[in-house]
Structure 1
Amino acid sequence: MTFEEAINSIKELNIETMQKAQKRLDNLTKPLGSLGRLEEIVKQLAGITGELFPCVKNKKIVIMCADNGVVEEGVSSCPKSVTSSVTQNFLKGFTGVNVLSRHSRADIVVVDVGVDDDIDCPGVINRKIRKGTWNIMKGPAMTRNEAIKAIETGIEIVGKLKEKGVNLLGTGEMGVGNTTTSSAVASVLIGNDIGEMVGKGAGLTQKGLINKIEIIKNAIDINKPNPSDPIDVLAKVGGFDIAALTGCFLGAAAYRLPVMIDGFISATAALAAIKIKPECRNYILPSHGSAEPGNKKIMEALDMSPMLLLEMRLGEGSGAALAFHIIDAAVAAYNEMGTFGDAKIEQYKPLE
């Protein structure tokens, strides 16, 4: 499915199924609305899938991995080589997202869309656009065509997972320097001051943080991304990982799959996807409130509330893996609770 085909395939939620789901929720043995956001989650899943009893047993977390040329400006405390190392470590099973996804009964899908290394690792899907983006302090991160290619990679990966019966997606990433590119993209798309968006990422000092803010400001001044053209923003100050995740969100909406935001980088991609196609928002679920300050600004801009507030900033899809437990609980309560008829209890009625 091409970028244009995906955009044209995104439709509104199935309102009829959502109404039926609400009727069932109101007939379960509990006070009306007493499961709070769990009820909203179930209704959203019903609207996305068109199924009165949604299934979320086949879960995958797609991790887009890429390097960023801006790292040469000293915006990260980690060397660029960490991107390649962690990308390969995902397949060894001992990273943070590996552990958390195992406990939520989810598998990870690792995709190389721009790691600056020749990765020969069974299990890593090779969709390398190029070995890292260009330095945004010297010009655009990528061409517009490369940005679209990265987006279409995300759409392609989601389509293949849909064919395999996946029914719940999480999003994750790995790329040294990607909190810098995410801050740049998000600040342009939202219109916020850079200082409100930028955090310490993987552990910068205060001096490093000040440098990071200046680098982002200068990169935006140099490249002049168009706030009303999300693809232009991604191409000029983004990264291959962000663009590919943008494709994941668009692809999930096109294929009618619920998809979960992870942290700041993932939220930036969701923001870009929604700016491209506003209806995409209906298919997206937030997971946790990242400790990165820009994440809160994105959640506010999208009018979303995270399910979990744990001060995490790991990335990788770790927050999505944790929030999968909440989704499982919501679906289990909805599917397995008895009705008032089962319990021979008079149904609750709304107070007038």
Structure 2
Amino acid sequence: MELNEYCKDIKHINKDIEMQAQKRFDNLIKPLGSLGKLEKIVCLYAGAKGTAEPANLDFPKRVIMLWQDEIMSEKPTNSPINILAKAAHGNVIMETVTSNREELVTAIEQGINATEHVILSGYGLIAPVTFGRYTVPSGWERLKECGWEEILYTLGSNICAAMVGSILCAAKHRTPIMLDGLASVLAAYIAGKICPEALEYCICSQITTERGQKNLAFSMGFTPVLRLHLAQGNGYGAALAFTLFDAGLKAYKEMKTFAETGVHDEVSEFAHSQQARSKS
């Protein structure tokens, strides 16, 4: 697989639709911007799907793709990730990277192929995660300016490489990606080096206590949804962010604008024009 050729099909998120969705949020009967980051992630979802029409934005089937480099004998059904995913109406799929550390480009292809299968199975919100704490490679300030291959081979993680493929594939299918922890943020950074448009489909679920994740996430323009002081990005944050995504989408679909309720003389304290002036 030639990655540059593959990435030609990854398109920018629809910014016009994203702005239309934000305009709807701004005109709901509530204080301007009062749903905070919930508004941002729903607008991203609308832009990815190409529609701001509430009736056309379904609650997507969601999955946590738990990447590992060895086959686990059985799915850890009683682990927190499975409990939290179930509570968020999501599934956990175990994915195993079969390539070794010298075959990182092959691992990217494995991530692409596995995610392609998941998306074609009907999943519309993807969270690529892994167990364990990660750290930013030493000499990052120099390394981050290098090409994606040098960064990936310095990192030396076939799991991270597979997650790069997962992110690229999801972006190609205009499917939002829920990042969780430093490993997935590093994968997103590398994916962005390969194809900058892919980052537009990423949502950062949380800031962990992993050294360097906060600075890296903010440097990439991400505004994490949660700060729960979790130790690593093993899917807990993604599962919890799924529930907040649902809450934001439910508000978007079920709340009414002034016009929809037939109220054209806005109450001054809620008036969009008044609030917009006060924020300027």
1:344 CA drift (Å): 3.5
1:6 CA drift (Å): 3.1
Counterpart Cα distance in 2 of 1:238 and 1:13: 30
2:141 paired residue number = 191
* One-letter amino acid matched to 1:279: E
Q: 1:23 to 1:306 in 2, by over 3 A?
A: closer
1:32 matched to 2:42: no
1:51 CA drift (Å): 2.4
1:28 CA drift (Å): 1.6
Counterpart Cα distance in 2 of 1:44 and 1:257: 10
Q: Is the 8 A contact 2:176 2:203 kept in 1?
A: yes
**1:141-177 deviation per Cα after TM superposition (whole angstroms, max 9, x unaligned):** x2xxx211111111112212221221111121136xx
1:339 CA drift (Å): 2.3
Counterpart Cα distance in 2 of 1:336 and 1:5: 41
- TM-score normalised per structure 2: 0.87
- TM-score normalised per structure 1: 0.70
Q: 1:109 to 1:2 in 2, by over 3 A?
A: farther
1:286 matched to 2:204: yes
Q: 1:226 to 1:311 in 2, by over 3 A?
A: closer
Counterpart Cα distance in 2 of 1:104 and 1:2: 36
Match of 2:249 among 319, 331, 334: 331
* One-letter amino acid matched to 1:333: A
1:233 paired residue number = 151
Counterpart Cα distance in 1 of 2:22 and 2:126: 24
Counterpart Cα distance in 1 of 2:272 and 2:183: 44
1:156 matched to 2:113: yes
- Give the length in aligned residue pairs: 267
1:30 CA drift (Å): 1.3
* One-letter amino acid matched to 1:183: V
1:227 CA drift (Å): 4.5
* One-letter amino acid matched to 1:297: N
**1:4-61 deviation per Cα after TM superposition (whole angstroms, max 9, x unaligned):** 3431111111123223212322332112222222211111111111122332330011
2:68 paired residue number = 65
Counterpart Cα distance in 2 of 1:10 and 1:307: 25
Q: Is the 8 A contact 1:63 1:109 kept in 2?
A: yes
2:130 paired residue number = 173
**1:67-94 deviation per Cα after TM superposition (whole angstroms, max 9, x unaligned):** xxxxxxxxxxxxxxxx65xx445x1411
1:232 CA drift (Å): 2.5
SS of 2:136's equivalent in the other structure is helix
* One-letter amino acid matched to 1:15: K
1:37-186 equivalence runs, <5 A: 37-52=37-52, 53=54, 54-66=57-69, 87-89=72-74, 91-113=75-97, 128-130=98-100, 133=101, 142=102, 146-174=103-131, 179=134, 182-184=135-137
2:273 paired residue number = 350
2:229 paired residue number = 311
Q: Is the 8 A contact 2:182 2:232 kept in 1?
A: no
1:343 CA drift (Å): 3.3
1:242 matched to 2:192: no
1:220 paired residue number = none
1:2 CA drift (Å): 5.3
1:125 paired residue number = none
Q: Which has the larger radius of gyration?
A: 1
Q: Is the 8 A contact 1:56 1:328 kept in 2?
A: yes
1:261 matched to 2:179: yes
Q: Is the 8 A contact 1:2 1:152 kept in 2?
A: no
Counterpart Cα distance in 1 of 2:248 and 2:104: 36
Q: 1:237 to 1:16 in 2, by over 3 A?
A: closer
* One-letter amino acid matched to 1:256: R
**1:284-338 deviation per Cα after TM superposition (whole angstroms, max 9, x unaligned):** 0001110112111211221222111111024321211111111111111001112
| Structural RMSD (CA) | 2.2
